[in-house]
Structure 1
């Protein structure tokens, strides 16, 4: 990272504690301002959050989710102190971040690209027009549309503009009853702490259910050019809810397959008109090649940035700030090692015991072993990423050894429920 301007501030749209922890002490004191929805500040009790970070000056309440209220802060923010960069802290902040950066004359995704990345209907339209391979799809407005689209074949039903696998369902076959139930679960999916209380507009898709292994591509882009990319192999749980169980990167791929992913991400950048920032694009590798599932225009979740940093010796979050500030960046062309994460599961019920965390943490190559549930807490069957019970992270010299290390760490932890 280049030396930042100590007089300038970095504006984050959306409060992301993991991002702030990663940059705290590495950017000037008090140089970060966060814009967050007033309802989310209240729900997450973020009033005293600035006291926990040296870098965080304040949290400014303003609407940004399907709202232009945050744009009204542009003049106020810039007049108080120069703005070096505007960074998307969360998935729902991507359009507002792009709009605010554009208004301030700073590098960013572009407003049109951000809108496509936040709406899978629009993304399907522009990606398909740009030569990106897509599944067969249709916007749906009720169970009758799902049934009409699917016939009796397998189908994916999902929101077009939500996050974290919320409301996504995989159906092996479809009849009137299953279509009605899928619509009820998809359209009724809730994220209490992640969205404001005001009414928001949600859209929904039915898509052809693809067959093949799942991957993601993490890419940094400057002025429409990919300057760094990584391919991650994904593991998803079986059943109707495709929640991610683990990640391994760089994915062990042959040269032709890797080249196919490189071509696919460049076509996607071109199709969306994405200019500067970070992309996290998810794909299924079908017999025809990489086929787009979805794409986000912010740092990926699931600790993927931490995995990239461990494998490539990078500091992607700091690099992204430099990129969005228009500063030069240096990035490696290859990984130094492999890294992996495995998310912890437990039988549904009340947690009665958590054991083995210290044992897992002491295993070779393990960098993290964290359990997010405590004794007395209810554990649910996984329906979204929010239902996972913790994670373990490991590194190793190659994919096979790293995969085994993370599985050994997973096996060492016992979460007992009753």
Structure 2
């Protein structure tokens, strides 16, 4: 399958304010991975023209100005910020023609081939990059990459919905919120929790990790589907009520650990992304645009997971998420204020791309994919993350209605031997 680049343009920032605006990165922005995250959305024909999509994108960029800004470090390298309204920046738009029909690549199975449908994520010059891949049948795959320190998944999904509405000529009824007053430190600031070694690496910094002897080619990206019927079966085993996420995550954690064949006394943990917006008191607006994700860390010994029940694993997930509440979030905000003169380095910056025996989990179950509509009559028929060259990553996303039986799709990355064993037991209820 050939992907031919037709054009590459930059949509400039919208009308600049009277003076350059500097939006400082919050402690949550600093915790986000300093990299672009790539996501693909596939639409059946008919779809609007590329011109219509770009016209709507220009309007959307005006409403979400940080996506077209520039990520800047101050001279002391302690206070990074997003520059809006200055020269430079903009959104990169690449247009391609694909010499095949969209049905030829559906469903979007994890593969390095998917990287051809979005701009490169290394050494990027733009915070937001979009690639419009037009297939011979008229179908479209929109490949989007965004700098994670500018916005989390919740924020980016709201941008996508707004872009679709603007292409259809509709008014936006929910505007992004950039006000950071709800994140002001307490007076005086105080740390009620220990954040060194949990969120940030204490100084002095450790030596750089030498290149791993493991080969990223040994990593397999895979997609596993869980129907609502199967998830309901797991829930019948629960002595107490749990969310779909908690139940499915308990099931996955238990079976992934079994597939890895780890020593029974090994400690395994999940780094689990939690949306902090509704957990603040008072809650932050759901429209807050930026990052407001905090990590929860359920932990257990391998023997506890493999010999215990799914209900036990789900309870560990539930309890760890429950500890992320207003007090913890305020403590993290104050931690940044107390250490405002120091270089804060996320602990994740010192990790290899091989997380075994641990996992990193993101849930997209609450994102409004079903609301993304560009008009023209074409329906969203698939969405997926791009190829992930790291082991131990798990992403939960809703299966699209009308495609299959519904439920939850799980994208996960494991070493090839572990992936083969997991595939065999992925639906085991033992």
TM-score, with structure 1 as normaliser: 0.27
Which of the pair has the greater relative contact order for Cα pairs under 8 Å at 6+ separation? 2
Q: Could you tell me the TM-score, scaled by structure 2's length?
A: 0.26
